[in-house]
Amino acid sequence: MIPIDGDFIMSVAPRFSGSKAASQLRIVGEVSSVFSSILDFYAINTKLRIAHFMGQVAHECAGFRTTEEFASGAAYEGRQDLGNVKKGDGKRYKGRGLIQLTGRANYREIGKKLNLPLEDNPELAAEPVTSLRIACEYWKSRNINAAADRDDLIKATKLVNGGLNGLEDRRKYLQKAKTSLAGIEGIRVSLNEGGNTTVLRRGSFGNAVIELQELLISKGFDLSIDSDFGPATELAVMMVQKNNGLTADGIVGQKTWDALRK
């Protein structure tokens, strides 16, 4: 598994300020610790597949600053092809997800696949982790991995968009993702009974970093719990690794998690 997280996402996504930056940080922070494992579950697990996924998704969700379309959804009212057969369905089942899910029928179908009540509670689709899973389900349903394997941006864009809208923007994000992935070493994640272990390193952030910092504090290190894997957290990790006979590289993989959880 290629260790991609919030730091990787932010290396591809554009930077914002103010409320847009806050929204982006919330979304990326929530998906950071599960990003790698969810993509791996859907076989989006090679550099080309990940890069193309990022190229498409970064455009579709406006640089990871929204999981819900900006329009009201009124334009979908009465669209029987989307399953919108009741009054108010257009707005109720507006586009949500990193690749937008639209229409009552699609909410029902994806809800069954994810075992979530999306038809009864469509706002769930905007929750960051669910929005990521929705994008992956769409990716899988259209077999976009095949286009990614051929490094075919045109085909991937048509499968996502139905046309070539935003092609140059998608191309820009694709190239940024390829550049970022080229700098990531192929760290493999071992498995335990709980599933895939989250790999953390300097620049990571989110809930998994909070857990890491809490464990380090329990070991006697004087740290702030700020969900940001900065230099102080890295130094503490390296000291734990050294004290446990591990390679002191500052990268938190399975063996380091095990040492911390003793």
Tens digit of each residue's pLDDT (9 = 90 or more) over 78-100: 999 999 999 999 999 999 999 99
Residues of the chain with CATH 1.10.101.10: 192-260
Among 225, 227, 220, 204, which residue's Cα sits nearest to residue 260?
220
Residues of the chain with CATH 1.10.530: 6-67+128-186
Residue with more model confidence, 205 or 38 = 38
Q: What is the pLDDT of residue 188?
A: 43
Q: For residue 195, give the DSSP letter.
A: E
**pLDDT tier at 33 (50, 70, 90 boundaries)?**
confident
In this prediction, residues 237-242 reach a mean pLDDT of 94
Maximum Cα–Cα distance for the chain, whole Å?
A: 65
d(CA 57, CA 9): 11
Q: What is the pLDDT of residue 197?
A: 61
d(CA 64, CA 61): 5
Residues of the chain with CATH 3.30.20: 74-126
d(CA 30, CA 227): 11
Among 214, 205, 195, which residue's Cα sits nearest to residue 260?
214
Residue with more model confidence, 225 or 61 = 61
CATH number among 3.40.50, 3.10.120, 3.30.20, 1.10.260, domain 74-126: 3.30.20
Q: Which residues contact 83 (CB under 8 A, 6 or more apart)?
A: 89, 93, 103, 104, 105, 106, 108
Virtual torsion, Cα 134, 136, 140, 142, nearest 10 deg: 70
Q: Which two tokens stand for residue 258?
A: 């095990």
Rg of the chain over Cα atoms, rounded to whole angstroms, equals 20
Q: What is the pLDDT of residue 205?
A: 74
Q: For residue 196, give the DSSP letter.
A: E
Q: What is the pLDDT of residue 229?
A: 85
Q: What is the pLDDT of residue 194?
A: 42
pLDDT digits (tens, 9 = 90+) for 131-188: 999 999 999 999 999 999 999 999 999 999 999 999 999 999 999 999 888 777 444 4
147-171: buried (b, 16+ CB within 10 Å) or exposed (e) per residue?
bbeeebbeebbbbbbeeeebeeebe
Residue with more model confidence, 238 or 183 = 238
Q: What is the pLDDT of residue 192?
A: 40
Q: Which two tokens stand for residue 101?
A: 């899910």
Contact predicate 170/176, CB 8 Å? no
Contact predicate 197/261, CB 8 Å? no
Tell the residue number behind the tokens 């940001």, with chain if given.
228
CATH topology of domain 192-260: Muramoyl-pentapeptide Carboxypeptidase; domain 1 (1.10.101)
Residue 193: Cβ within 10 Å count: 4
Q: What is the pLDDT of residue 79?
A: 95
Q: Is the pLDDT of residue 196 over 70?
A: no
What is the pTM assigned to this prediction?
Answer: 0.74
The number of C-alpha atoms within 13 Å of 54 and in the hemisphere containing its C-beta is 30
Q: Is the pLDDT of residue 202 over 70?
A: yes
CATH number among 3.90.550, 3.40.50, 1.10.530, 3.40.720, domain 6-67+128-186: 1.10.530
